[in-house]
Chains A and B, each alone.
Chain A
Amino acid sequence: MTDVTVSILPSAPLWALEIWSNPDAVAARFKAATGFALPKMGSSDGSEALRLIRYEPTVWLVEGDASALPSILANDGTQTAIGGGIVRMLLSGKGWRRLLMEGGVFDAESPAFTTGSSAATIIDHVNIRLHVHSDDACLAYVPLSYARGILHFWEEAAKALD
């Protein structure tokens, strides 16, 4: 049987960060303040304290301490709290890629979907964002209303992975 376990992580501050003007200047200010660049489309970057996942051309999911962001954004964007509606789940074990193919439409088995990659996709009709944490772990951001259903879906699917 393929090795994968699914667990719910404690809730964390989550924000939607949108940049509507001067993206290069914002990117420069961001890198200067945080030490890492704003991640490109389909990727994520940061640390346990502050992680950004880009999931739309002008929008990033921000996880962690976002207190520095208002001054970085200035009048070029804004941030909106969204953490109440999202449950973070951790898929651990070598089998997480195969598990994500269950009910999926996205190539989580692609060798290019590696640590630091991210995706916004549909799994069993539910919109889910993914962040590859390591070869053995992937974070999933699941809408609160679907979290219990998806957890059950993954736990059942994990029993039948081959």
Chain B
Amino acid sequence: MTGPSRPSSATDINFTFDGKRYSARRGDTLAAALLANGIGLVGRSFKYHRPRGIMTAGVEEPSALVTVGEGGRTEPNTRATDVFVYDGLVANSQNRWPSLSLDFGAIFGLAAPLFSAGFYYKTFFGSAKRWMFYEHFIRKAAGLGNAPTESDPDRFSQRAAFCDVLVVGAGPSGLAAAVDAAEAGQRVILVEQDEILGASLIRDPQELYSVWVQNCAERIRAAGGRILTRTTASGYWEHDLVTLTQRLAEPGQVPHNGVAQRLWHVRAGQVLLATGSIERPVAFPNNDRPGVMLSQAVRTYVRRYGVCPGQRVVIATNNDDAYLTAHALQEAGAQIVAILEARPAPAGQGQNLPVFNNAHPLSTKGARHCLKNVSGSVDGVTKSWDADLLAVSGGFTPVVHLHCQAGGTLEWNDAAQAFVPAQSRQNVKTIGGAAAPAPVFNATPVAPAKKSFVDFQNDVTLADVDLAWAEGYRSVEHLKRYTTLGMATDQGKTSNMGALARLAEKQGVAIPEAGLTTFRPPYTPVTMGLFAGAGAKDAGAHKRRLALYDVHAAKNPIWQPLGYWFRPRAYPMAGETLADAAMREARSVRTSAGLTDVSTLAKFEVSGPDAVALLETICATTVGKLAVGRGRYTFMLREDGFVFDDGTVWRIDENRYLLTSSTGGADRMATHLSYVRNYLHPSWHVSVVNVQEHYAGIAIAGPKAKSAVAKLIGEEPPRHMSTISAKIAGVSVLVLAASYSGERAFEIYVDARNAEPVWTHCETAVIAEGGCLYGLEAMEFLRIEKGHLVVGGEIDGRTTPQDLALDKMLNKAGGFIGASGLGRSALSEPGRRQLVGLEAIEGSIPEGSMLVTADGKSPEGHVTASAFRIMEGGSIALAHLADGFDRHGEELIATSPTRGQRARVRVIAPHFYDSAGERYRD
């Protein structure tokens, strides 16, 4: 298969395929290099494990899928035609066992009649239990390559770009358009999925083409344009946003600077699609063997790579373009043994070529890496030729994916037997070959259906299309899903038109009347890492660090993600488990004192003459009567009357308030406040500033908290729900007396830049009182025992103030958001889930479990949070229970079938500790 223009040289590079070492020339795709080394068998098909070779020379390749790379860089299902060989590339065939040449999976091919379209639907039905049985075998058999189990060591970048003109495709039309736009002073981005520019000019070079291409590139760059190679426009979104996927390293290759791929988000003033066309295969029996290739691909391998994929070649065509392939092959020394021309009359292109008109291929016979024989019909008479290569051309399908993703419509071009772009919905225009494909004779398959593949990647034959039709699948969308036609990485690039033509034939309509499936992004596969971007290894987002993060880290806590925040969950001592540590910390708070970081609470400063008006709009409780230096608990409702957050509000000056709310709802509360301030009441004289991060928050709680705080600030601490300004370690702080734990407690707010010395002094003071640090786990125990609510637990967006027994705190004057919603009669009907406490009679109460009166009965509520009594022991929980207020004393079962856990519980009030609140007060 080595062509005359392909001498080996000192610049050859090495790669392996299935463990065997080969050499390649720089600039080779893996497909070109394999062909140059005489490798025609590259993979096994998806369903029948039929031997498959290289069919195309571009991203449309449906058959030659390989696994490239090693370890975490392994990339399965990579098209051999879309990876450029680098030194040390490791490629492996896939979907075969024990080897590519001897694949036991090929037995599926023998049983092909059993695995026809709809096989899954016809075979795997019945109860869920049966499916669990089937699943094991289906998972074993399904799929092509295997995903790597190691994490990817490389990074993935996402970058924004803006331009006046985005040109997709660097063929002659794209290059010319980009030059014109750039030299007209517009910001231009030109993208090309190949590693070099030129597209069809590379395959069909004209005189001085390389000079012209290079000159275009220089002119674009000189005018300030940007050219991105190895970059595919993978999706077209609203408002002319186009996503580009750029390979900075080839699949499996160690990137030069750590970044393997980049996802571009390009906002373009105008998009020009110079995406060209994809050649169609021809459907006939055994058209999938290694050695059957698309005609233009053959020409590309000959002209671009100097590789001649066959020496005795049959060409099957319905258009003029394939004659260029014949000439290229002849120039490379190959023999054209026959041209099966579908058109009935000579086309004038075949001088000195063995052209047979009114002819089409009937079948092939093959060796392992190439063909042996091609048979065809000529004027209805069967003939055969010894040949090692069959180049086919069934016409051309314009690449209209992006045009359609942008909402554009298509129209049928009868001469080309293809859909072409029509109306555009966004500022996009298709130019070049994609707008005006070459004419062809006929797109409808004429050969027998059996083993005539239309979708090579999913093993869909004409017979499958016929079967789907016979079984009543009339819509092209149903056909696609029933047969899997056009799915997976291929997305119908080579298969759509052949199947559509067959469907139209069955329907007795013209092809455009049969309809088209939807073009969805991405056009070519995009790695998951690229979607995740720089945060791929960190759940896609940055970790939010407390101002005191390093202080905590030095104590080796168990960290707890809380949204994007990381907070200490517990500070275990040597040998302690999380549960042990948390219980020790909670007991310290109950008996002496504890210190914890509450910096993540949402905090807003509300100031101005209309501050009260705004707060009484936001909060469902009264605010206006607060004296300076006093605070109170509050909660907020949605318009529909449901509670969505809670917190405290403090009057820290005449016209200045501090509003706190939950950590998890901080962003939502900021948005809500902004909405009320800027949209509902833009004329109010009030300022709302998010100071969540400005203040670090330190809480000291416990019976000895007051003593500790008094020593810290050198004066009498504020009484419960009061606030004073003070100094700790010479730093100004705001001391709020509020309790979440159920004990006398204080929250100390300090400019986050000065938090460390304040924390250090507080820690010393707490330890001097016999206390310790405590984390989120202990905080949860404490608040559950006290019966305090948490947003996301008891406040779950479905509860009203009445459901949570907060209604006595409602502002009687109304006027707050949600007041009207509360008046709806449905919210006071019987059966509403209400907040209750549970204590275990037997067993531990599983968090999240359902509450039932007896096994098999419908759930009447659920456990929102569970814990253990801190001093006395015993499992307790908070729960939502239908009509719960009236069911105190009733026994229920808390059951979690998925975890196999259950407990017998008694319904009680949701305050397990100091229900009178006496421990808050001095």
Report if A and B associate in a common complex.
yes
A interface residues, Cβ below 8 angstroms from B: 1, 11, 16, 18, 20-21, 59, 75, 77-78, 80-86, 101-107, 109-110, 124-126, 143-150, 153, 156-157, 159-160
Q: Smallest Cβ distance from B439 to chain A, in angstroms?
A: 43
A125 to B544, CA, bound (A): 12
| Interface size in chain B (residues, C-beta < 8 A) | 46
- CB within 8 Å for A78 and B753 given contacts A20-B685, A101-B159, A143-B693: no
Considering residues B549, B693, B750, which has the most beta carbons from chain A within 10 angstroms of its beta carbon? B693
Contact A124 to B534, CB < 8 A, known contacts A84-B753, A85-B692, A156-B258: yes
In the complex, chain A residues whose CB is within 8 Å of the CB of B265: 105
In the docked arrangement, what's the CA distance between A113 and B786, Å?
A: 55
| Distance (whole angstroms) from the CB of A21 to the closest CB of chain B | 6
| One of B259, B533, B544, B691 near A82 (C-beta < 8 A) | B691
Q: How many angstroms between the C-alpha atoms of A110 and B163 in the bound complex?
A: 9
Most buried by A among B161, B259, B542, B685: B542
Chain B window 579-623, contacts with chain A (Cβ cutoff 8 Å), 1 for yes, 0 for no:
000000000000000000000000001011100000000000000
Docked CA distance A37–B115 (Å)? 77
Q: Measured between alpha carbons, how far is A11 from B157 in the docked complex, in Å? A: 30
Asked whether B162 lies within 8 Å of A16 as measured between CB atoms, the reply is no
Chain B interface mostly: mixed
With both chains docked as a complex, state the minimum distance between the C-beta of A161 and any C-beta of chain B, in angstroms: 9
CA distance A16 to B546 in the complex (A): 22
Query: Is B535's CB under 8 angstroms from A157's CB?
Result: no
B838 close to A (CB within 8 Å): no
Once A80-B691, A144-B752 are accepted as A-B contacts, the answer to whether A156 and B543 lie under 8 Å apart by CB is: no
The answer to whether residues A149 and B545 also contact, given A107-B160, A110-B162, A160-B157 and a CB cut-off of 8 A, is: yes
Cα separation A137 to B85 with both chains bound (whole Å):
41
Least distance between B186 CB and chain A CB atoms (Å): 13
| Cβ of A136 to closest chain B Cβ, rounded Å | 19
A103 with B607: CB separation less than 8 A: no
A86 partner residues in chain B, CB cutoff 8 A:
693-694
Instruction: Specify which of B160, B258, B542, B686 is in contact with A126 (CB 8 Å cutoff).
Output: B542
Q: Can you list 21 residue pairs at the A/B interface with Cβ under 8 Å?
A: A1-B257, A16-B687, A20-B608, A59-B687, A75-B609, A83-B753, A84-B547, A84-B691, A101-B159, A103-B159, A103-B533, A124-B533, A125-B541, A126-B542, A145-B565, A148-B549, A149-B545, A153-B534, A159-B257, A160-B257, A160-B258
Whether, in the assembled complex, B108 has its beta carbon less than 8 Å from a beta carbon of chain A, the answer is: no
Q: Is there an interface contact between A157 and B693, defined as CB atoms closer than 8 Å?
A: no
B746 CB within 8 Å of chain A: no
Complex: how many Å from CA A148 to CA B248?
A: 27
> Bound complex: CA of A150 vs CA of B687, how far in Å?
29
Which listed residue (B258, B540, B753) contacts A159, Cβ 8 A? B258
Measured between alpha carbons, how far is A1 from B259 in the docked complex, in Å? 14
Residues of A within 8 A of B605 (CB): 80
Closest to B607 in A: A78
Contact B546 A145 (CB under 8 A): yes
Q: A85-B752, A103-B533, A126-B542 are in contact. Are A80 and B689 (CB under 8 A)?
A: yes
Say yes or no: A18 contacts B687, CB within 8 Å: yes
Min distance, Cβ A14 to any Cβ of chain B, angstroms: 9
| Chain A positions within 8 Å of B754 at CB level | 84
Set A21, A104, A125: member contacting B160, Cβ < 8 A: A104
Select from chain A the residue with minimum beta-carbon distance to B158.
A103
Contacts of A109 in B (CB 8 A): 161-162
Q: Which of A81, A104, A110, A145 meets B545, CB within 8 Å?
A: A145
Q: Mark B692-704, 1 if CB is under 8 A from A, else 0.
A: 1111100000000
Closest Cβ of chain B: how far from A84's Cβ, in Å? 4
- Which chain B residues border A11 with CB–CB below 8 Å? 753
Which partner residue on chain B sits nearest A80 by CB separation?
B689
Complex CA distance for A121 and B565, rounded to whole angstroms: 21
Cβ of B155 within 8 Å of any chain A Cβ, yes or no, is yes
- Which residues of B lie under 8 Å from residue A110 when comparing CB positions? 162
Q: Which chain B positions have C-beta within 8 A of A124? A: 158, 533-535, 542
**Which A residues are in CB contact (< 8 Å) with B691?**
80-82, 84-85
Residue of B nearest to A16 (CB): B689
